Amino acid sequence: MFSIKLGLLLCTVISVFVSINTQTVHKRFEYKYSFKPPYLAQKDGTVPFWEYGGNAIASGESVRLAPSLRSQKGAIWTKQPINFDWWEVDIMFKITGRGRIGADGLAFWYTTQRGDYTGEVFGSSDRWNGLAVIFDSFDNDNKHNNPYIMAVLNDGTRNFDHKSDGTTQLLSGCLRDFRNKPFPTRARIEYYLNTLTVYFHNGMTTNEADYELCFRAENVALPRGGYFGLSAATGGLADDHDVIHLLTSSLHSTQQQGGQQISNDEQQKLSQEYQEYQKKLEQQKVDYRKEHPDEVRDKEGEFDDWFESDGQRELRQIFQGQGQIHDILRDLNKKVDEVIGKQMNSLSMLTAVYSQSQGQPIQPGQAPMQMPALPIGRQDWDTLVANNQLMINTIAELKGFIIDVSRKSDSLLAAGGGGAAAGAAVNPQFLNDIRDSVNHVKQTVAGVAQRLTATPQVAAQAACPNISCVSTTMLLMVVTAQLGVMFLYTLYKERKEAQAKKFF
C-alpha cells in the first residue's frame, strides 16, 4: 500500500516538471495600475497612482466618470506608463439610468499618451494612438444594434466615426446589454502574445465563472509603454457611469522569466532531493516503530484505522441518532418555556380584568394596569378564548412529540443491547456509555413531560392570590356542611309544627 502512495507522489512530481516545461502563463497583480474599493479614493479625493478630471468624481467605493446629467464628460488615467508587454485588465462597472435608452457610453483606453478629460470620444481624445474598448450605449446610426461592445484601434491619424457608431473602424465587437443590471457588469480585456481577447460578464449574477467571450482578435500590435485610462460621456440622454474597480495583472510566459525555467540538471537534482527526503521519511518511521513497539502493527493493518467494522458503523449511527434526539429535546424545552410564559402572561391579564370588574380599587401609588376598558368587549373575550385554544393545541402537539421521542429512545436502547449480543467486536464500555446516554435522554424527556403536566397547577397557583379561590375538597366540605345545616333546620321546623298541632 505504501508503495502505491509513493508511486502517486512520484507521478505528481513528474507531472509538475512536465507542466513547467510547457509554456504556462504567469500572472502578477499590478497594484500601481489598479484601483478598487474600499478606500478607492483617499480623504483628499485623490486616487493613488491615478489622475482624474472633467466631471469625474472618485469616492471610496467607485469612480463616477460621468453622472446622469446632460453633456457630462470625465476620465481617469494612470500616472505612469505601463512597463510590461502583456496584460489582463478586469473592469467592474455599472451603467445605470432611468431611461429605456441611455447615453453615451464608457471606454477603456490603452494609448501612448494620456487623453483629454473632456474629449470628443466618450470623454477622451480623438485621434488616439493605441486601443479603445468602447461600451457604446446610444444607437447613433439607428440600426438597433446598441448597446454594443467593440475594440477600435487607431494609429493617431483617424477620427472616430460617431455617425456610424464606429462600425466602419472597429476591430471586432459583440452586441451585449450592459445597462441597468442587478449586479455590476464586468469586462476582462486580455492582451497576450499579440492576441486581444475581451470577455464580458452581464451582471445578472455575482458568479465569477459567468464571463463569456465577446471576441478574440489575433495579430494585434499595440505600442509599448502606453497608459491605461477610462472615460465616459453623456449627451441629451444621460446615464450614471460608475467604475467600481480596475484590476491590472501583468502576464508573463515562463520563457520570459529567464532563470525560472528548469534545466535538466536541476530536474535531476530535484528528483534526487525528493528521493533522499523519502528515504529520510522511511528511516524516521522505522526509528519510531523501534521506540514505540506497542504501537507497531503489521504493514497490512496500517490503514485499518481508515475503515470501520459493522459494529462500529452501528455505534456511530446510534450516536448520531442520539445527537438528533438531544437537539429535538432542547428545542422542545425552549418551546415549553415559551408556552408557559405566554400562559402566565394571559393569566395575570385575566386576574387584572377580574379584579377590576369586581370593583376593587387600585392601590394608591400602584400603576394602573394596561388593560382594556371595562366592561370587557366581546372581541377581547373571543381573542382570549382563541389564544387559550391555541395553547391547548400546542401543548397536545408537544405531548405527542415527546411520546414519539421517548419511543425512539426506547428502540435505540433495544438496538444498543442487541448490538452487544450480536457482535463480539463491540466494546462493552461503548455500550455502557450509550445506555447511560439513552437514560439521560429519557430523564430529560420525563422532565419535560413533568413540566407539561405541572403547567395547569402552576396556572392555578398563580391565579389564587387575587381571586381567592378554594380547592375542590374545601368546596365539597362547605357544601356538605350547608346540606347538614339545612337538614337539621328542616327537622327542627317539622318538630315545631308537630308540637304546634298538638297544642291546637
Stretch that binds Ca ion, among 136-144, 239-247, 446-454, 491-499 (CB under 5 A): 136-144
CA 486 – CA 496 distance, rounded (Å): 15
The nearer residue to Ca ion, 139 or 433, going by C-beta atoms, is 139
- In angstroms, give the least distance from the CB of 231 to Ca ion: 14
The nearer residue to Ca ion, 24 or 145, going by C-beta atoms, is 145
Helix axes 2-21, 264-291, angle to 10 degrees: 160
Q: Across the chain, how many H-helices and E-strands are there? A: 6, 15
- In angstroms, give the least distance from the CB of 103 to Ca ion: 8
Stretch that binds Ca ion, among 129-137, 258-266, 291-299, 485-493 (CB under 5 A): 129-137
Would you state the cell numbers that stand for residue 379, as one nine-digit string? Answer: 372581541
CA 86 – CA 65 distance, rounded (Å): 26
* Residues in 422-461 at the binding interface with Ca ion, rule: CB under 5 A: none
Contact status, residue 228 vs residue 109, Cβ threshold 8 Å: yes
Stretch that binds Ca ion, among 15-23, 139-147, 352-360, 373-381 (CB under 5 A): 139-147
By CB under 5 A, residue 85 contacts Ca ion: no
Phi, psi of 290 (to 5 degrees): -65, -40
Stretch that binds Ca ion, among 132-140, 236-244, 292-300, 408-416 (CB under 5 A): 132-140
Among 33, 35, 50, 138, binds Ca ion (CB under 5 A): 138
The nearer residue to Ca ion, 143 or 493, going by C-beta atoms, is 143
Residues that bind Ca ion (rule: CB under 5 A) add up to a total of 9
The nearer residue to Ca ion, 143 or 216, going by C-beta atoms, is 143
Q: CA triplet 40, 41, 43: central angle to 5 degrees?
A: 135
- In angstroms, give the least distance from the CB of 243 to Ca ion: 19
Contact status, residue 335 vs residue 451, Cβ threshold 8 Å: no
The nearer residue to Ca ion, 159 or 411, going by C-beta atoms, is 159
* Residues in 141-160 at the binding interface with Ca ion, rule: CB under 5 A: 141, 143, 145-146
Question: Terminus-to-terminus CA distance in the chain, angstroms?
Answer: 127
CA 226 – CA 108 distance, rounded (Å): 13
The nearer residue to Ca ion, 101 or 213, going by C-beta atoms, is 101
CA 73 – CA 290 distance, rounded (Å): 79
- In angstroms, give the least distance from the CB of 65 to Ca ion: 16
Query: Which residues pair with residue 170 across a beta bridge?
Result: 152
- In angstroms, give the least distance from the CB of 122 to Ca ion: 9
> Which residues touch 467 (CB under 8 Å, ≥6 apart)?
351, 354, 355
**Look-up: residue for cell 438528533?**
324
Among 136, 239, 240, 242, binds Ca ion (CB under 5 A): 136
Of 109, 103, 141, give the one whose Cα is nearest residue 124: 109
Of 220, 230, 64, give the one whose Cα is nearest residue 132: 230
CA 379 – CA 419 distance, rounded (Å): 60
The nearer residue to Ca ion, 235 or 423, going by C-beta atoms, is 235
**Look-up: residue for cell 328542616?**
490
Contact status, residue 336 vs residue 452, Cβ threshold 8 Å: yes
Residue whose C-beta lies closest to Ca ion: 165
CA 60 – CA 47 distance, rounded (Å): 9
Chain-centre distance for alpha carbon 236: 42
Among 61, 85, 120, 139, binds Ca ion (CB under 5 A): 139
- In angstroms, give the least distance from the CB of 142 to Ca ion: 7
Site track 162-191 with Ca ion (rule: CB under 5 A), x = hit: ---x--------------------------
The nearer residue to Ca ion, 106 or 315, going by C-beta atoms, is 106
Stretch that binds Ca ion, among 43-51, 131-139, 281-289, 434-442 (CB under 5 A): 131-139
The nearer residue to Ca ion, 125 or 146, going by C-beta atoms, is 146
Query: For residue 365, how many C-alpha atoms fall within 13 Å in the half-sphere facing its CB?
Result: 0
- In angstroms, give the least distance from the CB of 104 to Ca ion: 6
Among 71, 113, 140, 355, binds Ca ion (CB under 5 A): 140
Query: Which residues pair with residue 26 across a beta bridge?
Result: 252
The nearer residue to Ca ion, 145 or 195, going by C-beta atoms, is 145
Interface residues with Ca ion (CB under 5 A) are: 136, 138-141, 143, 145-146, 165
